[in-house]
Amino acid sequence: MIHTQLFIDGQWRDAAKRQTRQILNPCDETVIALAADGDRRDAQDAIAAARAAFDTGSWRGSTPRQRSRLLLDIAQLLERDSEDLAALETLNTGKTLAESRTDMGDVAATFRYFAGLVATDSGQANAAPEHIISRTLHEPVGVCGLITPWNYPLLQAAWKIAPALGAGNCVVLKPSSLTPLSSWRFTQLLTELDLPPGVFNLVSGGAEVGAELAEHADVDLVSFTGGAQAGASIMRAASGNFKRIGLELGGKNPNIVCADADLDTAVDYALNAAFFHAGQVCSAGSRLLLQQEIHDEFVRRLAERLPRIVIGPGQLPDSQMGPVQSAQQHDKILSLIAAGVKEGARLVYGGGRPDGERYRNGYWLQPTLLADVHADMLIAKEEIFGPVITVERFHDEAEALRLANGTPYGLAAAVWTRDLERASRMSRALRFGTVWVNDYHPYFPEAPWGGFKSSGIGRELSRIGLEEYTELKHSYINLAPKPMGWFGA
């Protein structure tokens, strides 16, 4: 049995109230770990440690090369222990080992990417008279509260930790109370390196730890990935001291297939878009929009593939889809499917727990296909966050765009077409932070990630993802000061 602790001011310790939280295996609901369950007091201690480290410590004044070196060292440790980390992520989230291995590769790549960016960041000299040195400098924001969700625990954390530390900030990480294990293991790796106390702190626990980070006056920036409700509450709390905020929220992502698309590939990717990590992906292509001419054939082909998806524990090499992460998520998905059927959607496949002894315990769901869905149904509007594809039909490009954009969310969208002119036109018209054409899901550290509209504020990854963790300073040095004689001379 794993026992995790908090990491505050360079020390491992139990939660102040010595409380722990049971961490369950989503495959069979057995207890796999007891995680330290921090509360507001622990969060306050961590914030104080981070504040002191930032205000009086050496990290903020470290050179870009030193910070870049640290990120590279972290990447190396992550690569050394990637199998171990992937196994832990699979155990805790239920995702397949192949997916967790991909995640760990991406986690290390994130640290490597920001190491490169940090090393070359020297600010910018501004045009000015000869006796003036005017520079735009990137300085760390200060103490950063990082709050992460349960679907990509270490990957989402890496997108925040790497640029935050790289820019010279001190951080307090709060992972989801459901999936704290990989963040705890990551923190163990950090202790192998020479990081000053207080620069990195880990406080596992529930929403109150996150709320404390959002409210506390000594936190300068809060970066949150999670649901809209918590995001709104964080935004309100952060207004107390006008914190910088980054919000990566949910999505209701349209995957649009035009009649001229390569159907074999589009069908294959539609499955990947929707069932990767059992659909628990913020950018999941759960809302399939099919052009009238290909609609029936496309649905038929999907229905043929669904029974062949191998559902099983992520550790087994033949498993293609694991369970969903929690009982709460399981219930929510089932109730949304029921609501869809009640509103007139046609259940083509799935809709419940798979048959068989293996699936009796744990949060298992069949891959599910609902057709004849209309834009005004709950399942076309709410983020389902499970292995469910809803299918709507459209007649022409204008209708596809109207349906696709008719959501308050704006995280990701895809278009399948062989017509490059249409591809370009639709990419521009879709109001989403990422628009893929003839592909689904790729993201990488070099490109920005984030949402339009209610999918969030700010961007992660890319150069912009680093700038989110910096304050811009105009440094102005007059090399030849002389009296001005303006007043009373």
Contacting positions for ligand NAD (CB under 6 A): 147-152, 156, 174, 176-177, 206-207, 210-211, 214, 225-227, 230, 233-234, 248-251, 282, 383, 385, 411, 451, 456
Nearest to 70 by CA among 182, 181, 168, 177: 168
CA distance 296 to 306: 16
CB of 147 to ligand NAD, least distance (A): 5
99 is catalytic: no
CB of 351 to ligand NAD, least distance (A): 22
- SS3 for the chain, per residue? CEECCEEECCEEECCCCCCEEEEECCCCCCEEEEEECECHHHHHHHHHHHHHHHHHCCHHHCCHHHHHHHHHHHHHHHHHCHHHHHHHHHHHHCCCHHHHHHHHHHHHHHHHHHHHHHHHCCCEECCCCCCEEEEEEEEECCEEEEECCCCCHHHHHHHHHHHHHHCCCEEEEECCCCCCHHHHHHHHHHCCCCCCCCCEEECCECHHHHHHHHHCCCCCEEEEECCHHHHHHHHHHHHHHCCEEEEECCCCCEEEECCCCCHHHHHHHHHHHHHHHHHCCCCCCCEEEEEHHHHHHHHHHHHHHHHHCCECCCCCCCCCECCCCCHHHHHHHHHHHHHHHHCCCEEEECCCCCCCHHHCCCCCCCCEEEECCCCCCHHHHCCCCCCEEEEEEECCHHHHHHHHHCCCCCCEEEEECCCHHHHHHHHHHCCCCEEEECCCCCCCCCCCECCCHHHEECCECHHHHHHCCEEEEEEEEECCCCCCCCCCC
Name the region of 147 (left: φ>0; alpha: ψ -120 to 50; beta: rest). Answer: beta
CA distance 130 to 262: 60
Nearer to ligand NAD, 46 or 119 (CB): 46
CB of 459 to ligand NAD, least distance (A): 10
CB of 478 to ligand NAD, least distance (A): 45
State the residue number with the nearest CB to ligand NAD: 210
CB of 412 to ligand NAD, least distance (A): 9
CA distance 172 to 53: 12
CB of 209 to ligand NAD, least distance (A): 7
Nearer to ligand NAD, 177 or 201 (CB): 177
Two tokens, residue 309? 């998806």
CB of 93 to ligand NAD, least distance (A): 11
Nearer to ligand NAD, 211 or 289 (CB): 211
**Which of 89, 99, 215, 248 is labelled catalytic?**
248
Nearer to ligand NAD, 176 or 291 (CB): 176
Contact 368, 389 (CB under 8 A): yes
CB of 219 to ligand NAD, least distance (A): 12
Q: Which residues are catalytic?
A: 248
